[in-house]
Amino acid sequence: MNEEQRRTLLDADRRFVWHPFTQMKDYATADHVLIERAQGPFVYGSDGQRYYDAVSSWWVNIHGHNHPRINEAIARQLESMEHVMFSGFTHQPAIELASRLVAITPEGLDKVFYSDNGSTAVEVALKMSFQYWRQVGKTDKTRFVFLDNGYHGDTIGAVSVGGVDLYHKLYKPLLFATFQAPSPYQYRWPGNADAFVEEAVGAVEELFAAHADEIAGMIVEPMIQAAGGMIIYPAEYLRRVRDLCDRYGVHLIADEVAVGFGRTGRMFGCNHADVSPDIMCLSKGLTAGYVPLSVTLCTQQIYDAFYDDYDTVKTFFHGHSFTANPIGCAVALESLNIFDQEDTMRTVARLSAQLSEELKQFAAYEHVGDIRHLGMVGALELVSDRASRRSFPFQERIGQRVYQEGLRQGVILRPLGDTIYFWLQYCLTPEQMHDLFLRTHRVFQTLQL
Size, binding site for ligand PLP by CB under 6 A? 14
Q: Does 286 bind ligand PLP (CB under 6 A)?
A: no
Closer residue to ligand PLP (CB): 116 or 370? 116
Of 266, 150, 260, 259, nearest to 204 by C-alpha is: 150
Residues 6+ apart with CB under 8 A from 36: 1, 44, 45, 46
Q: Does 183 bind ligand PLP (CB under 6 A)?
A: no
Q: Does 118 bind ligand PLP (CB under 6 A)?
A: yes
Instruction: Write the CA distances from 16 to 13, 266, 390, integer angstroms.
Output: 5, 42, 40
Closer residue to ligand PLP (CB): 160 or 283? 283
Residues 56, 115, 119, 440: which binds ligand PLP (CB under 6 A)? 119
DSSP code of residue 236: H
Residues 135, 149, 283, 325: which binds ligand PLP (CB under 6 A)? 283
Closer residue to ligand PLP (CB): 221 or 381? 221
Closer residue to ligand PLP (CB): 101 or 383? 101
Q: Does 297 bind ligand PLP (CB under 6 A)?
A: no
- CA gap 23, 223 in Å, rounded: 30
Angle between helices 196-211 and 235-248 (to 10 degrees): 20
Residues 6+ apart with CB under 8 A from 399: 382, 415, 416, 417, 418, 419, 420
State in angstroms the smallest separation of the CB of 116 from ligand PLP. 9
The one segment of 10-18, 104-112, 145-153, 272-280 that binds ligand PLP by CB under 6 A: 145-153
The one segment of 34-42, 149-157, 300-308, 334-342 that binds ligand PLP by CB under 6 A: 149-157
Phi/psi at 294 (5° precision): -150, 165
State in angstroms the smallest separation of the CB of 266 from ligand PLP. 16
Q: How many CB atoms lie within 10 A of CB 227?
A: 24
Q: Does 299 bind ligand PLP (CB under 6 A)?
A: no
Write the burial class of residue 97 (CB in 10 Å: 0-12 exposed, 13-18 middle, 19+ buried). buried
Residues 54, 62, 226, 267: which binds ligand PLP (CB under 6 A)? 226
- CA gap 52, 367 in Å, rounded: 24
State in angstroms the smallest separation of the CB of 226 from ligand PLP. 5
Closer residue to ligand PLP (CB): 154 or 198? 154
The one segment of 99-107, 136-144, 181-189, 253-261 that binds ligand PLP by CB under 6 A: 253-261
The one segment of 113-121, 130-138, 179-187, 410-418 that binds ligand PLP by CB under 6 A: 113-121
Q: Does 334 bind ligand PLP (CB under 6 A)?
A: no
Could you please report the per-residue DSSP string of 131-193? HHHHHTT-TT--EEEEETT----SSHHHHHT---HHHHGGGGGGSPPEEEE----GGG-SS-G
Q: Does 152 bind ligand PLP (CB under 6 A)?
A: yes
Q: Does 122 bind ligand PLP (CB under 6 A)?
A: yes
- CA gap 273, 245 in Å, rounded: 14
Closer residue to ligand PLP (CB): 226 or 232? 226
Q: Does 221 bind ligand PLP (CB under 6 A)?
A: yes
List the beta strands (DSSP E) in 187-272: 215-220, 224-225, 231-232, 251-255
The one segment of 32-40, 116-124, 174-182, 197-205 that binds ligand PLP by CB under 6 A: 116-124
State in angstroms the smallest separation of the CB of 275 from ligand PLP. 17
Closer residue to ligand PLP (CB): 218 or 443? 218
Residues 40, 153, 184, 229: which binds ligand PLP (CB under 6 A)? 153
Could you please report the per-residue DSSP string of 331-349? HHHHHHHHHHHTTHHHHHH
Instruction: Write the CA distances from 274 to 98, 223, 249, 267, integer angstroms.
Output: 21, 12, 19, 12
State in angstroms the smallest separation of the CB of 367 from ligand PLP. 26
Q: Does 255 bind ligand PLP (CB under 6 A)?
A: yes
- CA gap 106, 83 in Å, rounded: 29
Q: Does 419 bind ligand PLP (CB under 6 A)?
A: no
- CA gap 277, 343 in Å, rounded: 26
Cβ atoms 86, 324 nearer than 8 A: yes
Grouping H, G, I as helix, E, B as strand and the rest as coil, residue 117 is: coil
Q: Could you list the residues that contact ligand PLP (CB under 6 A)?
A: 117-119, 122, 151-153, 221, 226-227, 255, 257-258, 283
